[in-house]
Structure 1
């Protein structure tokens, strides 16, 4: 949610920031500001007219009680009442118009966010060829059984691949705790308010599973319940950092025929998500901190990657700036998105009403940031393909063996 009061003092920078998105949100902002201005003009006039009407009604009652002539007071009150009847529906219409516009406005883009996807750096050596993850995993990824039981884009993971996933999650959670993140297993069913608060509604309805018999949704990321953990609160301290592990669910609407082979794009997957609540002045540094942790994880796993500053017209509604980490997949001979991290500034905090109290000051909205520590399915793909040996087996990094992963798969 944008701070329209602050923006109205100097709207052009905000309009320009939204114009970079190329989605019409700059014009919607102008319309919202115009509706707000008209509303602010009507409110005092309506309040004055209502007060005059009330005073007139009191004067008429007094005149009738004393037997005085009330005809002039009645005529005056009739005129005032007519004006109130004109203003009240106009006020209600403007309030509704403003509400409808406000919920469609995305976050302002950061000046340092890219105009087009911009690779910033690379790490690791790219393999020139290799078998894909389904060939390497063999029976440990059973797409046929997943399709039989749940439909397309579902899979069974079996055998040593299960121990590899569990080791990966445990290693990452331990690493994040060392960086000051509190481990959390959050709910994966949430109310509409939680999705609205994080900006997933009304922006991404087509991607979200909704229960038929209860007012609940399946989350596509633990960002949603982690953000709502302090909804409606004045936090006693910031920064606060959480690491949430959960299954995630996405309908992948609009992805028909795209990445249909294997477990790269599926409806259900596990993920460890980082989430931070910080003071506004600290959010740019926190964004770099989350990115550095994501890079540390991929380097620890020996997965070649590149960092990309994502184009503003590809940002979600809540993000002001986003970095993607794309892993190199030898079987495809290209980089593919593996993790990302976004600075959502005060956008989510305003929707969820999350504030902190600066020392000696009034409560202010915090800034929130999120970052994927490990998207398990895609990380398994990257591990298998980048650590395949000539004999067809996969050599597992030693950091995961310490947590129960096998030394070799296959």
Structure 2
């Protein structure tokens, strides 16, 4: 959500910032509605002043047993006019609120201009890509050959974009989630939280998932929403709160099931488990002060990178361009893992700073040392997407006989097994 006060101070700057996202000028239209709303509010105040004066005059006339019917008629008309004006002001306010809620966040100056992912800027690459002595397979070829990854059964019980994992692959998926949680809580100071995966509309709206992404989420008949990411639950916990400055930053993490309808993804990644309706993800959320949000963004991204480094997965950090940065973010780093079976870099984590955009929508604030109150900054990132990390492990650690070597850091979670092979 944007700050209307800032728009009033610099309408051309507001339009110029949104133009970087390819949006037409809109500040003038918003200010016109705002002017109408102010006029209606002013008119209500003027009529209220007149009503108070009339009430006194009517009282004097009645005490003197004089006719006050004319003034009483005027008072009734004033009341009716005020109700109409108040309704008009409320409708205008709601319209302004709706427009502002549907506008994306303004981008940080460091974000490069660009149309789509092809224009993203590579910051660095980490890790050596393995030189295979054989043609590496994709994860679904490996999983199906092991008889531990089943899309046919998942399709029978649920439909497309679901998977059933069995035996070692089910266990290593669980191991990955536990390893990530242990790393983030024990080494990086995040607090583990078990969150609801069903949330109300206010939580979805506050984390900028509504109304923009309604078609990409699942909604129950009772009006609840299945979370597309634990970011929603974790960040919404701050809604309506006023934090003491010495309680910030708040660093939270959760391993949860996530649900996405993948609207508009027809024909994309139809093989395998890269793009699923249901998947697991470890989420990182930070609630902090404005002066520390940039360093918190870097810290969060490093936490996610460390997971890949400990697993020995080659990756690269990308700074997303203006055309690829998400709706609520001012700046986003994507981490892309190298998948040798696909011979491609694929996103495995996205770490974003939304600054006060979400906080303003959910009224999440903090009290400064001087007693004044301001909006917190919120950040979120994948630490990591568990299913995609499983894919990266399978493809990078595959062997010529179809077996998969288990990364050393995961072996304590796997009963000290070192290889997944066909039994």
Q: Deviation per CA, 1:208-232, whole angstroms, max 9, x where unpaired?
A: 11111x2211001000000111211
Q: How many residues are matched?
A: 407
Q: Tell me if structure 2 keeps the 8 A contact 1:206–1:251.
A: yes
- For normalisation by structure 1, the TM-score amounts to 0.93
Residue in structure 2 matched with residue 186 of structure 1 by the alignment: 195
Measure, in 2, the Cα distance between the counterparts of 1:179 and 1:152.
37
Counterpart of 2:126 (choices 114, 123, 127) is 123
Q: Are 2:366 and 1:356 equivalent residues in the alignment? A: yes
Q: Deviation per CA, 1:167-188, whole angstroms, max 9, x where unpaired?
A: 2111111110121100112100
Residue in structure 2 matched with residue 99 of structure 1 by the alignment: 97
Offset at residue 40 of structure 1 (A): 2.5
Bigger drift between 79-88 and 10-19 goes to 79-88
Q: Tell me if structure 1 keeps the 8 A contact 2:2–2:101.
A: no
Measure, in 1, the Cα distance between the counterparts of 2:128 and 2:28.
49
Offset at residue 86 of structure 1 (A): 6.3
Residue in structure 2 matched with residue 407 of structure 1 by the alignment: 418
Residue in structure 2 matched with residue 10 of structure 1 by the alignment: 10
Residue in structure 2 matched with residue 154 of structure 1 by the alignment: 162
What does 1:8-407 correspond to in 2, within 5 Å? Answer: 8-24=8-24, 26-27=25-26, 29-68=27-66, 70=68, 73=71, 84=82, 87-116=85-114, 117-127=120-130, 129-137=135-143, 138=145, 139-177=147-185, 178-212=187-221, 214-236=222-244, 237-404=247-414, 406-407=417-418
Q: Tell me if structure 1 keeps the 8 A contact 2:41–2:86.
A: no
Secondary structure of 1:275's counterpart equals strand
Q: Deviation per CA, 1:316-343, whole angstroms, max 9, x where unpaired?
A: 2211111111111112211111111000
- Structure 2, unpaired ranges of 5+: 115-119
Secondary structure of 1:16's counterpart equals helix
Q: Tell me if structure 2 keeps the 8 A contact 1:17–1:110.
A: no
User: CA 1:265 to 1:82, structure 2 compared with 1: closer, same or farther past 3 Å?
Assistant: closer
Secondary structure of 2:348's counterpart equals strand
Measure, in 2, the Cα distance between the counterparts of 1:81 and 1:133.
71
Measure, in 2, the Cα distance between the counterparts of 1:227 and 1:13.
29
Q: Deviation per CA, 1:59-87, whole angstroms, max 9, x where unpaired?
A: 13421431446588568768866864664
Measure, in 1, the Cα distance between the counterparts of 2:411 and 2:194.
24
Measure, in 1, the Cα distance between the counterparts of 2:358 and 2:70.
54
Secondary structure of 1:193's counterpart equals helix
Measure, in 1, the Cα distance between the counterparts of 2:283 and 2:168.
24
Offset at residue 126 of structure 1 (A): 2.9
Measure, in 2, the Cα distance between the counterparts of 1:321 and 1:226.
20
- Structure 1, unpaired ranges of 5+: none
Q: Tell me if structure 2 keeps the 8 A contact 1:172–1:297.
A: yes
User: CA 1:79 to 1:261, structure 2 compared with 1: closer, same or farther past 3 Å?
Assistant: closer
Offset at residue 315 of structure 1 (A): 2.5
User: CA 1:162 to 1:115, structure 2 compared with 1: closer, same or farther past 3 Å?
Assistant: same
Q: Tell me if structure 1 keeps the 8 A contact 2:180–2:307.
A: yes
Offset at residue 269 of structure 1 (A): 0.5
Q: Tell me if structure 1 keeps the 8 A contact 2:348–2:388.
A: yes
Offset at residue 255 of structure 1 (A): 1.0
Measure, in 2, the Cα distance between the counterparts of 1:277 and 1:81.
46
Measure, in 2, the Cα distance between the counterparts of 1:180 and 1:81.
59
Offset at residue 298 of structure 1 (A): 0.8
Q: Tell me if structure 2 keeps the 8 A contact 1:15–1:30.
A: no
- For normalisation by structure 2, the TM-score amounts to 0.90
